[in-house]
Amino acid sequence: MKILITGGLGYIGSHTVIECINSKHTVVIVDNLYNSSIKVLEKLNKFLNKDLKFYKTDMQDIDAFEKVFKENNIDAVIHFAGYKAVGESVEKPLKYYDNNIGITINLLKLMERYNVKKIIFSSSATVYKESKILPLTENMPLGVTNPYGRTKLIIEEILQDIAYVDKNFKAVILRYFNPIGAHPCGLFGEENNGIPNNLMPYIVKVAKGELEYLRVFGNDYNTKDGTGVRDYIHVVDLAKAHIKAIKAFEFSKNINIYNIGTGTGYSVLEIIHNFEKATGIKIPYKIVERRSGDIGENYSNSDKAKKELNFSTKYGILDMCHDAWNFEKGK
């Protein structure tokens, strides 16, 4: 299939480009380079021995964006593009609604205009309401605590509304848990300009000596050791889930929602311990107050994806830590 990948030079996007090419699909990449670099395209072309079709396009500019559809006979879309910093979304909600919703509406308008009926959407576990009942399944209550998460939920609902009226429209919504790690080749990973928001990008900066210590946001949660528990998944396992989702178009219903996680929760202290074990590097840390908006614990039940998509994970937590460091130290 010819697959349009929006945000295809980003962290998860670039890993998914690799898996699409490995699975003999053709890809067309759209990215505005807001949170990525043209260097990623150069590395992808070299690594894959390809000359990947790339459009540096702001999807907010629908006339410029339409060129992609005019020039390529797109079969399906994998939609990653969007701002993703939770904290920033709280500070600048309009920036998040305008961009994340706006670019998606432009995408859906062009898909309708060019009769493209298949989309895989990059959603997030952040759409779930904090739950005392774990693991989370797809039918658990939804509820968001920040504008970033709300944009994910709104887009899920837009896709469901379109699927309701257009029986040929097929959307596969993947709710990612916490993607970390990097491609084992060491060339692709989470690029961070500035101070990272997320746990693993922060840890690798401490390992590199660029940051003095890790702040552990609270150790008074009702979890195994008091620190936050999350379901971390290797970014390559996550990328491969998209290939399984492409196959789902053959048999799927109009709307298909899947958790994509490992089903295992690790605390912050356990991540520190596993990173030290995987790399031999000590990670100094200080327990500080909780980060506003954080929940104590969540992890997935991904059985639906396992059953319907034949999804499985290959990498463990030590691989995730090793590969994250392997990429960072090679930058």
Enumerate binding residues for ligand WQD (CB under 6 A): 84, 86, 124, 126, 178, 197-199, 202, 214-217, 228, 230, 268, 291, 294
Structure-token pair, residue 88: 């920033």
Between 72 and 197, whose beta carbon lies closer to ligand WQD?
197
**What is the residue whose two structure tokens read 């929602």?**
257
Which of the residues are catalytic? 148
CB 165 → ligand WQD: shortest distance, Å?
A: 29
Between 114 and 217, whose beta carbon lies closer to ligand WQD?
217
Between 189 and 228, whose beta carbon lies closer to ligand WQD?
228
Say which amino acid occupies 202. Answer: Y
**Cα 227 from Cα 230, distance rounded (Å):** 10
Between 40 and 162, whose beta carbon lies closer to ligand WQD?
40
**Cα 174 from Cα 156, distance rounded (Å):** 10
CB 32 → ligand WQD: shortest distance, Å?
A: 17
CB 74 → ligand WQD: shortest distance, Å?
A: 25
Report which residue's Cβ sits closest to ligand WQD.
Answer: 228
Nearest of 16, 315, 25 to residue 181 by alpha carbon: 315
Q: What are the CB-based long-range contacts (under 8 Å, 24+) for 87-95?
A: 87/197, 87/293, 88/148, 88/197, 89/146, 89/147, 89/148, 89/149, 89/151, 90/146, 90/147, 90/292, 90/293, 93/147
CB 113 → ligand WQD: shortest distance, Å?
A: 29
**What is the residue whose two structure tokens read 């150069």?**
42
Which ranges constitute the DSSP H helices of 166-267? 199-207, 235-248
